[in-house]
């Protein structure tokens, strides 16, 4: 059940940074833990002794800082060495299988080793350069202090991981109790210092080719935040007007964050701890703006068909799989905002029969750009494809659309030669669960019903999605099984979120340092999707009267502009029905009426109670971001009785998705959601461990230290004498107290066995350093326990969301090819339980790290190299900086024992921009 295996060769291969290294055929070369710690002790001791005996001069303060940092690193390393060695001996018990070594414990140890190797690298550079007249003591003292702080926080995370070993059952990666360790994890995260991971150490655990892009994103984020409140208005909803102003202003303030890593880290920490989900929605949607979208489109594959569809929500029938003579009615989505059209994007590398039919063109919505090539040049039509890919984008359920994911979707359409239907589902918090699930399921069924419009013969269909989209792939398949309609032939989920609760796990401890998935941000997104966004009344205060008038003015001008554009295009294109061009007239009239009545509405609202103001805001924000951002979406018709609408919305939220399991045919065996009891839902538990395994686990697990007894006001979570660095301000983490997060259609990892047994073959592609890695590992274990076909592929050294970064580096492109190969296997009907055959679609990534020879040794306990069984390893080369580094050609894999993963030495150029 391994992911793509590919044999090595003896040929030389170009490294990431231009070096050439030789692929060796001998056994795997791995890092020895004792050698790494010995190198840390030696380099710190040698530098501390040198600077302690050297004359202080004008840099005396910086010299003392450097010596203190070296001493502190030695202390942390001495305490970490037995813990790291202990985890290396037992973390293989939590792998999916011996051929796919991956779990949160491995990831934590990998990050610690990576930090230690960076310290060795920096220390040896100091040793070789300290006598130079260009040597900057203050700069290097700041570098070592940053890694000393990072090592201190990693030490705290390993202690929390030992607590997880103590409190969890054998083989389980999640702590399922509501209280206890989960509350401790949230409390410690809220108070622990995180700025060191966002400054000089930003992205140190990832491949060097990604780190410059992460730095650019971090600088852009803090600059965007500084100007966000100055320009904050309702214009975010007016087609991207506000992001232009904020982004333009951010260019003038980004310089100080580029040259001052400490300032950037402190500001980044403040943003992640305090700003609400609306800020993150605005920042993540910057990629939706015309400028960035046009740049991405220019560098991506050119396709013949790229059309936005607005499918009306009309009920239709589909035949049952068990009895095709009987049909089931697929109802349109109604949760929270009532019936509304569903937006989809059709992408096809070739123009196929049916994709330019009048029936499909009647549902097309222009995005204000040029006409598609297929319409303007009358491109030759290809026959329908036997394959169709239905795609659900990621974005934490709160941001982005298919437009942000266009670049890799176009490449997929070319590589697979298939049409792709990407669904722009409604987003939270305006449209929380189960609205997105309803729309995605309706879109899937609509595709089955209207295959002739999509250039598809109706033969094989695959679902694919990343992050939140991976969650929707699984839940849509579960709902299709519940309704008895045709299941997809398989699904491919990239780094999916399968457990949307606040349960602690070892990989989720990485949220303390992950620049893309901080725990506070992740918690806000999940709460928004669950419909429990805190303090909704604050949003009324943020938008002034003038801001809303400006918003409606922008919407009015946008509708008139798009109406004129469509009218001109309708004259040039005889195939486009004229009704589409005229359909914007009611929209523009509605915008004009909204603009004129806005001042009077606000005056009347101020005379009412706060509750009525909140109700008015709920009605105003009831339309999802995706629908509102559509240039030609019809305006929502305000209800005659707003109070009834609010009551109906509250009723839907309280009932959540109790009706998701209902259908016309009552003979299906899948249980209804209301029938799922807690006793039916449990994690997959392996057989009890033997005596030796139990003894090894017990030796590493630590009970709660003194002061953590039940009822203690300030419990102590760490050994006596150690305290992690604390933040000056506590993170604002909203509590997750809604039971809806345990709904199987929201957290499929908690689904009963009967629901999982109905799933099609599942292919999961996860990241070894992803905070939600354990979601994928445990979900794959559960599918295997119910004897469902499943594969798990682990991508190394890349962050969560690598699909959106596929154009930035070779590693991300080759990891994206893994997803393409999995989709191809679904279309070709290959057995998901058998190892896939090697293909030329991508080659195995190998490390080309040149590391000190004393840090390498053969590990006799590894049966096979993890790279041959599912790890995709990003090639990295150590720069010439530093003394004592060996020449090129030495390769290093990650762990000891059965690990087989690559050690994240990642010793690329870690200099700060402008430093």
C-alpha Rg value of the chain to the nearest Å: 28
Q: From the CB of residue 687, how many other CB atoms can be counted at a distance below 10 Å?
A: 7
Give the tokens for residue 168: 């969890």
Query: What's the rounded Cα separation, in Å, for the pair 406 and 119?
Result: 40
**What is the helix (H) or strand (E) element at residue 443, kind and residue range?**
helix 435-449
Query: What's the rounded Cα separation, in Å, for the pair 143 and 115?
Result: 12
Q: What's the burial of 294, exposed, middle or buried (CB within 10 Å: 0-12/13-18/19+)?
A: exposed
Going through 744-869 in order, the beta strands assigned E by DSSP cover 762-767, 790-795, 856-858
- Give the sign of the dihedral formed by CA 204, CA 208, CA 213, CA 219: positive
Asked if residues 391 and 462 have their Cβ atoms less than 8 Å apart, the reply is: no
First to last CA, the chain: 47
Query: What's the rounded Cα separation, in Å, for the pair 547 and 543?
Result: 6
Nearest to 747 by CA among 722, 784, 772, 710: 772
Q: What's the burial of 12, exposed, middle or buried (CB within 10 Å: 0-12/13-18/19+)?
A: exposed
DSSP type of residue 853 = G
Q: From the CB of residue 804, how many other CB atoms can be counted at a distance below 10 Å?
A: 24
Secondary structure class of 887 (helix, strand, coil) = coil
Which residues are the active-site residues?
Answer: 467, 770, 800
Alpha helices in 168-206 (DSSP H): 181-191
Asked if residues 320 and 326 have their Cβ atoms less than 8 Å apart, the reply is: yes
In sequence order, the 6+-apart residues with CB closer than 8 A to the CB of 242 are 231, 232, 233, 235, 236, 282
Residue 24, CB half-sphere, CA atoms under 13 Å: how many? 13
Nearest to 359 by CA among 584, 633, 575: 575
Nearest to 235 by CA among 600, 606, 558, 597: 558
Asked if residues 540 and 614 have their Cβ atoms less than 8 Å apart, the reply is: yes
- Residue 466's beta-bridge partner residues? 494
Query: What's the rounded Cα separation, in Å, for the pair 912 and 203?
Result: 12
Asked if residues 295 and 330 have their Cβ atoms less than 8 Å apart, the reply is: no
Q: From the CB of residue 378, how many other CB atoms can be counted at a distance below 10 Å?
A: 11
CA 683-786-477 angle, 5° bins: 90
Q: What share of residues in the chain are helix, strand, coil (percent, to 5)?
A: 50, 10, 40
Secondary structure class of 200 (helix, strand, coil) = coil
DSSP type of residue 899 = -
Q: From the CB of residue 677, how many other CB atoms can be counted at a distance below 10 Å?
A: 9
Ordered DSSP codes for 52-67: HHS--GGGHHHHHHHH
In sequence order, the 6+-apart residues with CB closer than 8 A to the CB of 666 are none
Orientation of helix 277-284 relative to helix 519-530, angle to 10°? 100
């Amino acid at each position: 059940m391994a992911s793509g295996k590919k044999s090595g060769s003896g040929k030389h291969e170009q490294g990431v940074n231009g070096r050439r290294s030789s692929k060796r055929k001998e056994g795997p070369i791995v890092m020895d833990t004792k050698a790494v710690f010995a190198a840390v002790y030696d380099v710190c001791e040698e530098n501390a002794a040198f600077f302690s005996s050297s004359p202080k001069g004008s840099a005396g303060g910086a010299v003392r800082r450097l010596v203190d940092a070296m001493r502190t690193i030695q202390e942390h390393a001495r305490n970490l060495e037995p813990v790291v060695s202990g985890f290396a001996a037992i973390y293989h018990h939590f792998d999916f299988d011996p051929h796919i070594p991956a779990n949160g414990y491995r990831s934590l140890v990998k990050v610690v080793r990576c930090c230690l190797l960076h310290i060795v690298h920096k220390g040896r550079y100091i040793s070789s350069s300290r006598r130079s007249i260009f040597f900057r003591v203050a700069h290097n003292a700041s570098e070592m202090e940053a890694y000393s702080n990072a090592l201190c926080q990693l030490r705290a995370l390993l202690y929390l991981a030992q607590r997880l070993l103590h409190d969890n059952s054998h083989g389980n990666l999640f702590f399922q109790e509501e209280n206890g360790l989960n509350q401790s994890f949230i409390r410690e995260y809220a108070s622990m210092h995180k700025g060191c991971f966002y400054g000089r150490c930003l992205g140190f655990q990832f491949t060097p080719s990604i780190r410059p892009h992460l730095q650019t994103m971090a600088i852009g984020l803090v600059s965007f935040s500084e100007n966000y409140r100055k320009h904050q208005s309702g214009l975010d909803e007016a087609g991207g007007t506000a992001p232009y102003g904020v982004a333009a202003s951010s260019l003038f303030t980004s310089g100080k964050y580029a040259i001052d890593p400490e300032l950037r880290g402190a500001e980044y920490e403040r943003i992640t701890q305090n700003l609400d989900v609306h800020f993150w929605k605005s920042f993540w949607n910057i990629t939706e703006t015309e400028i960035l979208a046009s740049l991405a489109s220019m560098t991506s594959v050119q396709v013949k068909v790229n059309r936005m569809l607005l499918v009306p929500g009309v009920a239709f029938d589909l035949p049952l799989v068990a009895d095709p003579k009987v049909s089931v009615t697929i109802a349109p989505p109604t949760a929270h905002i009532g019936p509304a059209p569903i937006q989809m994007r059709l992408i096809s590398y070739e123009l196929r029969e049916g994709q330019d039919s009048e029936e499909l063109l009647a549902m097309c919505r222009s995005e204000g750009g040029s006409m598609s090539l297929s319409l303007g040049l009358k491109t030759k039509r290809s026959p329908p494809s036997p394959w169709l890919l239905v795609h659900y984008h990621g974005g934490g359920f709160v941001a982005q659309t298919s437009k942000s994911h266009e670049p890799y979707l176009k490449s997929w359409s070319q590589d697979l030669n298939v049409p792709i239907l990407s669904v722009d589902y409604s987003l939270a918090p305006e449209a929380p669960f189960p609205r997105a699930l309803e729309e995605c399921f309706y879109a899937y069924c609509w595709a089955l019903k209207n295959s002739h419009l999509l250039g598809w013969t109706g033969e094989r269909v695959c679902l694919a999605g990343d992050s939140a989209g991976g969650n929707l792939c699984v839940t849509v398949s579960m709902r299709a099984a519940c309704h008895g309609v045709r299941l997809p032939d398989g699904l491919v989920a990239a780094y999916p979120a399968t457990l949307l609760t606040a349960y602690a796990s070892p990989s989720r401890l990485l949220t303390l340092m992950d620049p893309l998935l901080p725990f506070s941000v992740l918690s806000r997104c999940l709460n928004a999707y669950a419909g429990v966004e805190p303090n909704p009344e604050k949003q009324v205060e943020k938008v002034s009267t003038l801001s809303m008038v400006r918003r409606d003015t922008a919407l009015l001008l946008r509708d008139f502009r798009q109406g004129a554009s469509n009218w001109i295009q309708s004259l040039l294109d005889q195939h486009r029905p004229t009704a589409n061009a005229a359909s914007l007239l009611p929209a523009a009239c509605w915008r004009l009426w909204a603009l004129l009545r806005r001042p009077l509405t606000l005056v009347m609202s101020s005379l009412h109670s706060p509750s009525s103001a909140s109700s008015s805001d709920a009605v105003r924000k009831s339309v999802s971001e995706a629908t509102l951002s559509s240039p030609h979406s019809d305006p929502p018709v305000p209800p005659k009785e707003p109070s009834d609408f609010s009551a109906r919305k509250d009723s839907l939220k309280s009932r959540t998705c109790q009706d998701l399991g209902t259908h016309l045919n009552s003979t299906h065996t899948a249980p209804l959601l209301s029938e799922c009891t807690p006793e039916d839902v449990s994690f997959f538990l392996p057989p009890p461990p033997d005596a030796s395994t139990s003894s090894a686990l017990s030796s590493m697990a630590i009970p709660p230290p003194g002061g953590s007894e039940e009822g203690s006001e300030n419990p102590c979570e760490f050994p006596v004498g150690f305290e992690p660095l604390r933040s000056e301000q506590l993170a604002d983490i909203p509590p997750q107290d809604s039971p809806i997060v345990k709904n199987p259609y929201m957290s499929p990892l908690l689904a009963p066995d009967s629901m999982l047994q109905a799933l099609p073959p599942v292919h999961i592609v996860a990241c070894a350093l992803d905070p939600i890695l354990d979601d994928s590992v445990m979900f794959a274990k559960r599918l295997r326990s119910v004897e469902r076909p499943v594969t798990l592929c682990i991508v190394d050294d890349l962050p969560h969301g690598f699909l959106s970064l596929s154009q930035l580096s070779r590693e991300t492109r080759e990891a994206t090819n893994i997803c393409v190969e999995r989709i191809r296997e679904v279309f070709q009907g290959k057995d998901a339980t058998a190892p896939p055959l090697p293909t030329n679609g991508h080659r195995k990534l190998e490390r080309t790290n040149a590391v000190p020879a004393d840090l390498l040794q053969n590990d006799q306990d590894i049966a096979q190299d993890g790279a041959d069984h599912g790890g995709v390893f990003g090639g990295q080369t150590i720069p010439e900086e530093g003394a004592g580094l060996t020449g090129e050609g030495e390769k290093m894999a990650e762990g000891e024992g059965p690990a087989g993963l690559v050690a994240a030495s990642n010793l690329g150029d870690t200099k700060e921009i402008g430093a």
